[in-house]
A and B are shown apart, each in its own frame.
Chain A
Amino acid sequence: MIKIKNLCVDLGDFLLYDISFTVSEGEYFVVLGPTGAGKTVLLESIAGLYPIKSGEIWLRGKEVVRLEPEKRGVSIVYQDHALFPHLSVKDNVIFGLRLRKEKHQEIKVTLDWITDLLSISHLLHRKPETLSGGERQKVALARALSTKPKVLLLDEPLSALDPETRENLQQELRQLHRVLNITTVHVTHDFEEAIALGHRIAVIGEGHLKQVGTPEQIFRQPNSEFVARFAMTRNIYLGEAVHKANGDNIFRIEGTEFVSAADTEGTCHASIRPEDILISLEPIRSSARNCFPGTITGIIDKGATLYITVNLPPDISCLVTRHSFEELELEEGKRVHVTFKASAVHLF
């Protein structure tokens, strides 16, 4: 569907070089990388909105490097939605259809279909400035999908939203993809977002692609220091969530059971932020529901703070200050206890 070969783009300050990957029909492909890694420019190159230095871009078996953006059938949604401020929601959504000189009847059918799908029918006569962040992003999505593009490009679509809206819209994106099955390239700097949405993930950094693989491959077998730093300083697990008879919500992974405050069930991901985990030499009696013994298997020194990997199993990464690190005399092989609250276990 999309094939990028040896793409090289000049960003002024640095180069994106040697970018090659393919995205198959209907795939949800996530490009993950730190802010300023050139992710937006990569998307704009695919859309034909940014001139490339060299390389090939193939869409549906056609080389498109010289094709104008309006003829590529590629829609883009930006982080800050980029709605046309002088047009109503309706006129924003049907902008592309009007350009094609479609008949009124056809435009109306598409408008009804897309606004129903995203539940924004009640907003049609509003101006973008009166909408909430989540609503704006939905309108931007509707506008992008109205032309029935072959490829949907999403540039950090969730980053400008508050956490709750972000979660809802993330669900919505997944749902939308399930319904439309449109080939999607989504760029983000958020590891969890990438894991939650991506069929496959490409990690980009220092000007080129570091690794392409399934979410599990990325966080289980990082192939470089760069990817590892992205993956290992976070705790993300694929396991089984179940409700227990006593009302507890349990996430099972490698024989260990984390208590979670979330009420998801079935196979899912769990994440625990390293800064939410306490390390102690003795078990702690507290209100925190999760307390496990384990052995230190790795230490990543970041200066003022350190990431301590403790094998329970599974491996869990904990953030400690240098002061605690020295006071507890932590070292590889040492037996310790880790403690964290049920509310720190995020299921998705």
Chain B
Amino acid sequence: MIRKWITTNRMTLTFVLLGLVIFLFIVVPLGKMILASDPAILLDTFLDSEVMRSIWLTLYAALIATAVGCLLGVPLAYLLARANFPGKRLVEGLIDIPIVVPHTAAGIALLFVFGRNFMVGKAFGAIGIQFVDSMAGIVIAMLFVSIPFLIDSAKEGFRKVDVRLEKVARSLGASPWQAFFRISLPLAWRSIVAGNIMMWARGISEFGAVLILAYHPMIAPVLVYERFETYGLDYARPVAVLLIMVCLIVFIALRMLVYQKEK
């Protein structure tokens, strides 16, 4: 009986086993770290103002990066989904580069534009905004490495909206703006929200680029790194656990919110 089942479902069985390996690979380290933590130490960490400040800073800076990315990225995503122009493939390819570049390298590249002695950095410096070792620096580092996720997701969303829906809207008296805001945007909404969540998540988890551009004020990933370097594993772990827990809670809540609205 069992042998027969195994022979007829050999492929399913193989895939389940292979899948299980990678699934456990993801879950076990995270689970062990959370479960092996001493609740008392966790509470101490939770009350450590430096830790909490860095976690809030991380969430907040990633949120600003996402808002800026949404404002600038969604229109571009729409253009890429709708318009055909020479070099479009190249543009799409360039947009995805931050995903493949090592993030420390990305940080250095950003430094060359936004650093105090460089063009854009100087211009912003004149109006009192500087990027090195500042909140603004954290935001642009996060923006740079996470924007491709938002653009790609929004682009797919717009692509799935039938162009003819926009055309019908136009023939019924809608201006291009009205057709966009009443038809295309609501219909691509889910993909855009998903892209925003992805971008925010990617921003929160960013380390390399932020490290180069703005070591201070310290975001949580940098704090974990610093505690690990200075005090060792035992001091770094509770901060990491806390960061993971906060992220998990936020993302589960967001997902539930989005899916509930769907129903």
A residues in contact (CB < 8 Å) with B: 44, 47-49, 68-70, 72, 74-76, 78, 82, 84-86, 95-96, 99-100, 143-144, 146-147, 149
Minimal beta-carbon separation of B71 from chain A (angstroms): 23
Beyond A95-B169, A147-B173, list 4 extra A-B contacts (CB 8 Å): A44-B167, A76-B167, A78-B168, A82-B168
Taking a contact as CB atoms under 8 Å apart, the answer to whether A96 and B172 are in contact is yes
The answer to whether A99 touches B171 (Cβ under 8 A) is no
Check B172–A95 contact: CB distance below 8 A: yes
Encode contact with A along B166-180: 1 for CB under 8 Å, 0 otherwise. 011111111100100
* Contact yes or no, B186 A86, CB < 8 A: yes
**Is residue B164 contacting chain A, with contact meaning CB distance below 8 A?**
yes
Closest chain B residue to A151, Cβ basis: B171
CB distance from B176 to the nearest CB of A (A): 8
Interchain CA distance A343-B219 in the complex, whole Å: 80
Closest beta carbon of chain B to A162's beta carbon, Å = 22
Query: A96-B172, A99-B173 in contact; A82/B164 too (CB < 8 A)?
Result: yes
Complex formed: what's the CA distance from A84 to B165 in Å?
7
Q: Judging by beta carbons under 8 Å apart, are A147 and B170 in contact?
A: no
Does A85 contact B167, Cβ atoms closer than 8 Å? no
- In this assembly, does B81 line the interface, its C-beta being within 8 Å of a C-beta of chain A? no
Number of inter-chain CB pairs below 8 Å: 60
Q: Is the CB of A69 within 8 A of B165?
A: no
In the complex with contacts A84-B165, A99-B178, A75-B171 CB distance below 8 A: yes
Point out residues on B near A: beta carbons under 8 Å: 162, 164-165, 167-175, 178, 182-183, 186-187
Expressed in whole angstroms, the minimum distance between the Cβ of A223 and any Cβ of chain B is: 33
On whether the beta carbons of B186 and A69 are closer than 8 Å, the reply is: no
Contact of A99 among B165, B168, B174 (CB under 8 A): B174
A49-B186 in contact given A78-B164, A82-B162, A82-B164 (Cβ < 8 Å): no
What would be 11 A-B contacts, judged by CB atoms less than 8 Å apart? A44-B167, A48-B170, A49-B171, A68-B175, A69-B170, A70-B171, A74-B171, A95-B174, A96-B172, A96-B173, A144-B172
Minimum CB distance partner of A76 in chain B:
B171
User: Considering only CB atoms, which chain A residue lies closest to B166 in the complex?
Assistant: A49
Assess the B172–A143 pair: CB atoms within 8 A: yes
Shortest Cβ distance from residue B161 to the other chain A in the assembled complex, whole angstroms: 9
Q: Contacts A96-B172, A147-B172; is A49 near B167 (CB within 8 Å)?
A: yes
In this complex, what residue of A is CB-closest to B175?
A70
With most chain A CB atoms within 10 A of its CB, the pick from B165, B171, B175, B182 is B171
Cross-interface CB contact of B167 among A68, A69, A72, A96, cutoff 8 Å: A69
Rounded to whole Å, the gap between the CB of B62 and the closest CB of chain A is 29
The residue that A76 contacts in the complex, of B168, B174, B178, with Cβ under 8 A, is B168
Q: Is there contact, CB below 8 Å, between A82 and B173? A: no
- Residues of A within 8 Å of B167, CB to CB, are 44, 47, 49, 69, 76, 82
A48 to B124, CA, bound (A): 44
Q: A77 to chain B: closest CB distance in Å?
A: 8
CB-defined contacts of B175 to chain A, threshold 8 Å: 68, 70
A84, B171: Cβ atoms closer than 8 Å: no
Question: B165 contacts which chain A residues (CB < 8 A)?
Answer: 82, 84
Q: Which of B162, B168, B183 neighbours the largest number of chain A CB atoms within 10 Å of its CB?
A: B168
Q: Give the shortest distance, in Å, between A52 (CB) and chain B (any CB).
A: 15
Q: Determine the distance from Cα of A56 to Cα of B178 in the docked complex, in whole angstroms.
A: 28
Q: How far is the CB of B82 from chain A (nearest CB, A)?
A: 13
Which residues from chain A contact B187 at a C-beta distance below 8 Å?
A: 84-86
User: In the complex the two chains form, what is the Cα distance from A257 to B187 in whole Å?
Assistant: 57
- Whole-angstrom distance between the Cβ of A76 and the nearest chain B Cβ: 5
* Chain B residues whose CB sits within 8 angstroms of the CB of A72 once the complex forms: 171
Look across to chain B and name the residue whose beta carbon is closest to the beta carbon of A72.
B171
Shortest CB distance A296–B (Å): 48
CB distance from B159 to the nearest CB of A (A): 15
Contacts of A144 on B, CB cut-off 8 Å? 171-172
Report the minimum CB–CB distance from A208 to chain B (whole Å): 24
> In the complex, are the beta carbons of A75 and B164 less than 8 A apart?
no
Quote the shortest CB–CB distance from B88 to chain A (angstroms).
15
The residues of B that contact A44 with a CB separation of less than 8 Å are 167
From A70, A85, A143, B174 is in contact (CB under 8 Å) with A70
